[in-house]
Amino acid sequence: MNKKLLNLEDVATYLNCSKSTMYRYVRENRISYIRRGRRLLFRETDIEAFLDNHRISIH
């Protein structure tokens, strides 16, 4: 099992969104995260699950 942790900046880049959008997702509990001190970390598997849950179908 891959337990790689990513920081907020890396996830924002990966999701192609701003850091403020990531903070909003965290504040609204829309994305799973781990807090270590003041740092927010994200499991790679949780990011993949987030993407799967927010997939938009194209017709």
pLDDT number for residue 54 = 82
How confident is the model at residue 25, as a pLDDT?
A: 96
Q: Evaluate whether 2 touches 45 at the Cβ level (below 8 Å).
A: yes
Please give, one letter per residue, the 3-state secondary structure of 1-59. CCCCEEEHHHHHHHHCCCHHHHHHHHHCCCCCCEEECCEEEEEHHHHHHHHHHCCCCCC
pLDDT reported for residue 17: 95
Query: For the chain, what is the largest distance between any 2 Cα atoms, rounded to a whole number of angstroms?
Result: 44
- pTM for the whole thing? 0.83
- pLDDT (tens digit, 0 to 9) for every residue of the chain, 59 residues total? 457 999 999 999 999 999 999 999 999 999 999 999 999 999 999 999 999 988 776 76
